[in-house]
A = this chain, B = another copy of it.
Amino acid sequence: MKEHKKLPSAVIKRMPRYYRYLTTLQQMGISRISSRDLGNRMGVTASQVRHDFFSFGASGLQGYGYDVDLLRQEIRDIFGLDDLFSVIIIGAGNLGHALAKYSGFEKNGYKIAAIFDVKPEIIGERINDIEIIHLDKLQEYVQDNHVDIAALTVPEIRVLEVAKLVTDNGIKALWNFSPIELLASDDIVVENIQMIDSLMVLGYNLRTAEAKLNPN
């Protein structure tokens, strides 16, 4: 990952979406795009696009726009996607299976290296060629293998103890899928996938749209 100044977290959160759109443009063979065209496709303003790219030092040229390949690679550099992060999954239930089978990780720079669980009957099985290892072996595993990120797909009542186990073993990044929100600390970074939050926003927008169509 190249050295960059720390970007504002709001810009960082928007960047993956730009990256996805730039990838699609690249796949379509489009080599340059204006902030207006990109904004139109994404449903944001051209000035938002220019502001966000300017914040990490990428400027389009007047009358030319942005170079799609260059801009996409710049985002890959900022996010360290060419480094291939090593991810382990804790919890081989349905969600753990779904993550292990998800095809989008490796091409985006994330390698699922192992899955941990505690059910004796599934230890040694493979999901998408990734081995299920007993959680008792976690310490041994992290001594022998570099791990960047732990995805936590364990039952809600287990998530606090598992988060402690994982961080006690030196893993610094938690990708938490349980409804319990884990908080970051000085040396642990956390992303919480709160599925209910997204559903609440969807329901709100649905009711608002219905109210507009049926005003009485």
Contact = CB atoms under 8 A, between A and B. Distances in A.
A210 B16 contact: no
A109 B196 CA distance: 10
Given A187-B213, A195-B193, A149 B206 contact: yes
A30 interface: no
A166 to B, nearest CB: 13
Nearest to A110: B199
B149 A16 contact: no
A55 to B, nearest CB: 14
Contacts of A16: 194, 196-197, 200-201
Contacts of A184: 43, 205
B20 A206 contact: no
Report copies per complex. Answer: 2
Interface stretch (A31-39, A94-102, A129-137): A94-102
10 contacts: A3-B211, A12-B205, A15-B200, A16-B200, A20-B197, A81-B200, A108-B199, A110-B199, A172-B209, A189-B206
Contacts of A87: 199
A61 interface: no
Interface in A126-164: 148-149, 156
A149 B189 contact: no
A124 interface: no
Interface string A179-216: 10101100101110111111111111111111101000
Given A98-B95, A173-B206, A206-B173, A191 B196 contact: no
